Amino acid sequence: MPPIAYEQRREEIEHYFDRTAAQAWARLTSQEPLGHIRSSVREGRNRMRDTLLSWLPQDMNGLRLLDAGCGTGGLILRLREANPAWHFAGIDFMPLACELARKRCGVGTDIREASITALPFADAGFDAVVSADVVCQVDNPETAAAEFFRVLRPGGVVVINVPAYRWMWSYHDDSCQTKHRYTRPEIAALLRGAGFAGVRTTHWNALPFPAVWAKRKLLRSAADTSDVKDYPKAVDAAFGALMAVEHAWFELGGTWAWGTSVFAVARKPGGLD
């Protein structure tokens, strides 16, 4: 991404990722007691991370993984807990996010301030790249996909999560500075266009989808911004139960034909695969 475009993009999202938002997200993705912050956010992230683990190869001791858009480091911490022998790196657009990620992940994790469209790493340096809800925030996703392909070794895996359906656009996307909401064919075409093979996609957040649609389309108010906020305990509990059912279906090899997000995995040709 050219320097001018980089600075312009930073200014566009700075109001969203201020210190309060970053600290709140750090709590959501940590193992600390949540208090009144909705537990379903962490539950949903944990289910997504468990699914990432189930879709990655299981025989990769010493795997090198890049979180492209690591935020405050929550995904890295969750993956490292399950796979302590892996080596982790992360990039994020916001200096504050990188600062918090370094503090949380420790000196053994390489955290750098950068864009997913210009990764500051050598070719073929990683076995896996994950990117959760970040590809949707850049104007040139093709460049981001090409960068993921470049930094992966032959046989390496990319896993991406993006919001689904342009017609689901709402105040939440405005707040999060979303550039595009995807369909499964779109994200599959993006990955294949970058050179990836073996592309698999599914929707995510399928069971809560009717409630999310109703909130964003029918029950919205002028005060609504991001949906990452406090909710009643009953809503949290119901959301967590639905996500548990979704994860169980994934564990059985199932996919979802609808949902608020699109989840994709693909492999760079070559290697032993």
Whether residue 10 has pLDDT greater than 50: no
What residue type is assigned to position 117 of the chain? T
Q: What SS3 string covers the chain?
A: CCHHHHHHHHHHHHCCCCHHHHHHHHHHCCCCCCCCCCHHHHHHHHHHHHHHHHHCCCCCCCCEEEEECCCCCHHHHHHHHHCCCCEEEEEECCHHHHHHHHHHHCCCCEEEECCCCCCCCCCCCEEEEEEECCHHHCCCHHHHHHHHHHHEEEEEEEEEEEEECHHHCCHHHHHHCCCCCECHHHHHHHHHHCCCEEEEEEEECCCCHHHHHHHHHHCCCCCCCCCCCCCCHHHHHHHHHHHHHHHHHHHCCCCCCCCCEEEEEEECCCCCC
Token representation of residue 46: 């944990």
38 or 156: which carries more pLDDT confidence?
A: 156
Predicted pLDDT of residue 5: 52
Predicted pLDDT of residue 102: 93
Sign of CA dihedral 75, 76, 80, 81: negative
Partners of 200 in beta bridges = 265
Arithmetic mean of pLDDT, 38-53: 54
Structure confidence by residue, pLDDT tens digits, 174-208 = 777 788 999 999 999 999 999 999 999 989 888 88
Predicted pLDDT of residue 37: 31
Predicted pLDDT of residue 266: 93
Put the strands of the sheet holding 126-132 in their side by side order: 110-113, 87-92, 64-68, 126-132, 152-163, 261-267, 197-204
Arithmetic mean of pLDDT, 84-96: 91
Nearest to 144 by CA among 182, 105, 88: 182
The pLDDT confidence band at residue 45, using thresholds 50, 70 and 90, is low
Arithmetic mean of pLDDT, 62-85: 88
Whether residue 152 has pLDDT greater than 70: yes
Whether residue 126 has pLDDT greater than 70: yes
Nearest to 249 by CA among 257, 239, 260, 261: 257
Whether residue 88 has pLDDT greater than 80: yes
Most confident of 16-20, 123-127, 263-267: 123-127
- Among residues of the chain, what percentage have pLDDT more than 90? 34
Report in angstroms the alpha-carbon separations of 158 from 102, 131, 257, 260, 265: 23, 8, 21, 20, 6
